[in-house]
Amino acid sequence: MEKLAILGGEKAIKEEDKELFAPPVSKEMEEKVLEVLREWKMSKIDLTLEFEKKFAEWHGMKYALACNNGTAAIHCALFGLKIGKGDEIICPSVTYWASCIPVFSLGGTVVFADIDPETLNINPDDIEKRITERTKAIMVVHYCGYPADMDRILNIASKYNLKVIEDASHAHGCLYKGKLCGTFGDVSCFSFMSGKSFGIGEGGILLTNDREVYERAIIFGHYERHSQSITIDYLKRGIGVPWGGYKYRMHQMSSAVGLVRLKTFKEEIEEIDKAMNYFCDLIEKLPGIKPHRPPKGSGCTKGGWYNPIALYSPEELGGLSITRFCEALNAEGVRVFPGVNKALHLHPLFSEIDVYNDGKPTRIRYSPEDIRKKDTGLTVSESIQERVFNIPWFKKYKPDKIREYAYAFEKVVKNYKELLPGDKGNPKDFGAWGLTFRI
């Protein structure tokens, strides 16, 4: 085995093939965007309505509402479900902040649940422990495209009469037991920012089969649609202005890109899935590394493999810190970093910050008890940073090149003892509150 690059040896990756990682940009996509510009359609909704229709059809859902980003879609979904003053949603602590912070503006609050150490999704066992008479909904995040345990979560929701919101921002094209993620909950939300597997520049969308949820979402932040879309009596009397005071319309350049991407996305994710599983099969044989993916034959898939990661077991590599391990891989030409989203319950916003000048921290302003005291037992959420790192996200199936990257992993693993003397351990703090994959 060659000498490690970090110790003066040659890099395993001699030349980066940018096509391996590049997002798709086609001539048709360019022309569709130019059409929006030339016809001055930027603030119209004709292309957006067409995009919504096709996205909903792909998922077999009745209603779709496109928004300017995934955060706005979640905000609309919470209002659509009538989440309000004093209501609690249960959310995993390890997720992007947009999964839960929008609830604050509606007077609701968030109760954090721990995650599963293998899937990094919300742990159904911990959900049930945290349900109270004020719980109204469960926020499910298919983290890094790994489908959550929807059977158990839906059973819990049914048992306690709770709503289920799917944050499918990582899960474009992912399957849970053969069915698309984003089709299980009362409402689901997707993000389309440029780094997502279905990136269209910026944007988000809400899916539901519930007409009232759909209309409430429209009246909350889509005033331009009120007269055409609102049919429910108690909503009709308030048309004309957005009830939330928000304008969440998707930009039509994003809609244009989305329409083109829908034509090819299924083929794109087939190639991504082939490439990523080929790579994962190669590195899975190495000690200390376990790719983050569903078991083969489970009917669950990772779709476009947004932000692919692997679990790390330092005890299998002589206690080598994940920081030193990633440093060695980077020196070989593999771009990796340790950690994932930081556990949100540790952020001051959820313990001490008074956003709306209510005289007490916003998270507990309408709570009859101090729910901050329940932020215990979140042990996996607090320790996961030292046991996970990102891996290359291959967009093209090029086996020869993929094997080069797998060789880099093999090289580092087999020479791990050479890294131990220079290992300074992990920093006290890593990961990021707003961690998201950006192009």
| Per-residue H/E/C for the chain | CCCCHHHCCCCCCCCCCHHHCCCCCCHHHHHHHHHHHHCCCCCCCHHHHHHHHHHHHHHCCCEEEEECCHHHHHHHHHHHCCCCCCCEEEEECECCHHHCHHHHHHCCEEEEECECCCCCCECHHHHHHCCCCCEEEEEEECHHHCCCCHHHHHHHHHHHCCEEEEECCCCCCCEECCEECCCCCCEEEEECCCCCCCCCCCCEEEEECCHHHHHHHHHHHCHHHHHHHCCCHHHHCCCCCCCCCCCCCCCHHHHHHHHHHHHHHHHHHHHHHHHHHHHHHHHCCCCCEEECCCCCCCCCCCCCCCCCEEEECHHHHCCCCHHHHHHHHHHCCCCCCECCECEHHHCHHHCCCCCCCCCCCHHHCCCCCCHHHHCCCCHHHHHHHHHEEECCCCCCCCHHHHHHHHHHHHHHHHCHHHHHHHCCCCCCCCCECCCCCCC
Q: Residue 438 has what pLDDT?
A: 59
- The neighbour count for residue 302, using CB atoms within 10 Å, is 30
Tokens of 116: 């599963």
Q: Residue 437 has what pLDDT?
A: 64
Kindly give, in sequence order, each residue whose CB lies less than 8 Å from that of residue 110, ignoring residues fewer than 6 positions away.
Answer: 88, 89, 90, 91, 100, 101, 103, 139, 350, 363
The Cα 273–Cα 267 span in angstroms is 10
If you search the block for the tokens 């932000």, which residue do you land on? 307
Residues comprising the chain, all counted = 439
Catalytic residue among 136, 196, 302, 342, which? 196
Q: Residue 23 has what pLDDT?
A: 84
Q: Residue 430 has what pLDDT?
A: 80
The Cα 207–Cα 60 span in angstroms is 10
Q: Residue 239 has what pLDDT?
A: 95
The domain limits of the chain are 27-259
Cα distances (angstroms) measured from residue 73 to each of 37, 69, 77, 223: 25, 7, 6, 15
pLDDT digit of tens for each residue in the chain (439 aa)? 689 999 999 999 998 898 899 888 999 999 999 999 999 999 999 999 999 999 999 999 999 999 999 999 999 999 999 999 999 999 999 999 999 999 999 999 999 999 999 999 999 999 999 999 999 999 999 999 999 999 999 999 999 999 999 999 999 999 999 999 999 999 999 999 999 999 999 999 999 999 999 999 999 999 999 989 999 999 999 999 999 999 999 999 999 999 999 999 999 999 999 999 999 999 999 999 999 999 999 999 999 999 999 999 999 999 999 999 999 999 999 999 999 999 999 999 999 999 999 999 999 999 999 999 999 999 999 999 999 999 999 999 999 999 999 999 999 999 999 999 999 999 988 878 777 765 5
Cα distances (angstroms) measured from residue 392 to each of 10, 21, 269: 20, 8, 15
- ∠ at Cα 170 (190, 287), nearest 5°? 175
302 in catalytic set = no
**CATH code of domain 27-259:** 3.40.640.10
Q: 340: closest CA among 317, 315, 306, 374?
A: 306
Are 109 and 363 spatial neighbours (Cβ–Cβ below 8 Å)? yes
Q: Residue 315 has what pLDDT?
A: 98
